[in-house]
Structure 1
Amino acid sequence: MLSAVVLASGLFSLTVGEREALVCPPQQYYQCLAEVPQTLRRDFPQSSEGVRQALGLRAAMAMPIDDNHFAGIILWAPKRLPSSISALWNDTVYQLPLQQQAQLTLWHELGHLEIKRLQRQNLLPQTLSTLEHEWLADAYMVWRSVQETGELTLAQQQLDRRNMAVFADIKNFSHWTALYLNQAVEQLDAQQVQHQPFAPWLVNLYQHTQQYNEDELQEFSGLLQRLFGMGRSQSLPDYMSWRRPTLGQVLAPTLRRVMGISAANQWMTEQNLLPKQSAARQ
């Protein structure tokens, strides 16, 4: 893993797969662009102001490119990253501390560059939705964190963060990668993952991960809004009852880590988020 000094510094380069990527603060964009191979510079935005506008208030943004040796540019503003995330539900504000968030964010952005490469090699579909791009980039982060640490702790934190973000604001649904990755992370064997190259591991994961169409995603979004949205009213435990057990499986690890096992199980039982046999044992 990179040191905190490097992560907080200015322009630097990284290797992702067998290609090079440049990581640069938005205020150093012109300097960064000068480091890009000359034949590829025209493929990137030429205006630093346009780049800053595209980045907005985000802490990072990947700009992948289709090339055998150069992966792309990552705009990098790590000081914008929070040290914790909080959300309100069950009449309580819950908070999740975030460890090594700069490193996780950088791995996620490198993941976007790798996903572009796998699309180019026809190992992934040429067209992916925003949410698909995000969960596949998070999958790279999961894989990379296991390579570096031999553990799943940081991967679990990232999925907790994704859940907490959508609890706090349904506008974060486009990055709700936990829907796809939670079961995989819960079942992964870190030692096995450490010995697998990224591309075959990801392709296998993608092929064995349940996909959801737009209507199904809208049902999950509506149910999350009902459970956690600011406009929530009385509890309606039978609302979208067919989606609740699946949603409960996705949310349960986060809820138990943040609320505590007993309180989380009680709340999930009240919200009809547990399988019937599990709820009966509470």
Structure 2
Amino acid sequence: MISLAVLAGLMHLSYIDDRRVIECNIQNAEQCVQLLPDELAHNLLQRYPNWPQDIGYRQAVSYVFDNEHVAGMILLANPHRNQVYQQWLGSDWYTYEAADEAQLVRWHELGHVYARNQISALPELPEVDGELGLNVALYQQEILADLYVAWRIAVQHQDWPLLNQQIHRRNLAMMKRDSDVNHWSVPWLLPLLSIDPKQVAQLDYPEFSKLALTLVKPIDKSELLELLYLFRREFSDGATTPSNKRYLSWRRAQFGTYVEPTLVELMGKKTATKWTQLRYF
């Protein structure tokens, strides 16, 4: 097994209690897997025979282990690169780049490891039946992972600009491809902006998760599906004109609450307001 000293410049270690979480760049994956106990390494490579190429086009991937020494491993594809988002709105292209996306991606994957390892201490999320490609179990895990992102932002920065960036990233991913619904955590993140981040910084992650859920009105199956239909109708490649105002009219104001911050970031307040008014958001 390769020593920690040799890998000092190739990976980062964090801990859940006294269990390691190993973070590696994908370029160093083969060296980092040598940090795992032999049985874990064997099982990982047996389960993912094409590892680490299994990461595909994802920015990162996390693996959670049931082991007394290692809680998980995170592979980062581009740990220092920010993705540039492009969105066609009306008659123009708009672009957005999160200032510190690499950190948001890293914290999100850490959130998966923390959530899976502290699941007994975390609140239960409302269940939503799966339609339109929604994987219920995955959706709940993604929400908990993004709540971890929000908690880390508060602890380390004690302000919310990075949380706004995460909200924009999630909205833009949905505008581009509504199949990304499993990652759309905006209904859970947006209410957090009303909390003082300095207050959040005094809480641990399970405490914060419970507080966060008190701010969110549970979203039922029909409500979520209607929001997804509006994403599809208003932001798909073929949606060059506003849809009929009667189409899901009862859901448009709520939909506007979720997407307007991102539209303002992209278009500016004046243009975004005009754009949303034409669509009765």
Aligned mate of 1:132, from 127, 140, 149: 140
Unaligned runs of 5+ in 2: 1-8, 128-135
* Residue in 1 that maps onto 2:4: none
The structural deviation recorded for 1:249 is 0.9
* Residue in 1 that maps onto 2:271: 263
TM superposition score normalised by structure 2: 0.84
TM superposition score normalised by structure 1: 0.83
CA contact (8 A) 1:83 1:99 kept: no
Is structure 2 residue 229 aligned with structure 1 residue 222? yes
Tell me: CA distance 1:118–1:211, structure 2 relative to 1, closer, same or farther (3 Å). Answer: farther
The structural deviation recorded for 1:109 is 0.5
Unaligned runs of 5+ in 1: 1-8, 274-282
Measure, in 2, the Cα distance between the counterparts of 1:187 and 1:58: 31
* Residue in 2 that maps onto 1:6: none
* Residue in 2 that maps onto 1:280: none
Instruction: Read off the aligned partner of 1:163 and give its amino acid letter.
Output: N
Measure, in 1, the Cα distance between the counterparts of 2:96 and 2:18: 35
* Residue in 2 that maps onto 1:113: 113
Please report the RMSD computed on the Cα atoms of aligned residues, expressed in angstroms.
2.4
Aligned mate of 2:184, from 159, 176, 200: 176
Identity within the alignment, %? 27
* Residue in 2 that maps onto 1:187: 194
Deviations 1:149-178 (A, max 9, x none): 121111111111111121122222221111
After alignment, is 172-181 or 41-50 more displaced? 41-50
SS in 1 for 2:256: helix
After superposition, residues 13-32 of structure 1 pair within 5 angstroms as 13-16=13-16, 18-32=18-32
The structural deviation recorded for 1:143 is 0.9
Aligned residue pair count: 263
Deviations 1:106-156 (A, max 9, x none): 01110000110222x253449952222212211111110121112111111
Measure, in 1, the Cα distance between the counterparts of 2:206 and 2:182: 24
Instruction: Read off the aligned partner of 2:249 and give its amino acid letter.
Output: S
* Residue in 2 that maps onto 1:73: 73
* Residue in 1 that maps onto 2:203: 196
SS in 2 for 1:44: helix
The structural deviation recorded for 1:207 is 4.8
After superposition, residues 93-172 of structure 1 pair within 5 angstroms as 93-119=93-119, 121=120, 123-125=122-124, 129-172=137-180
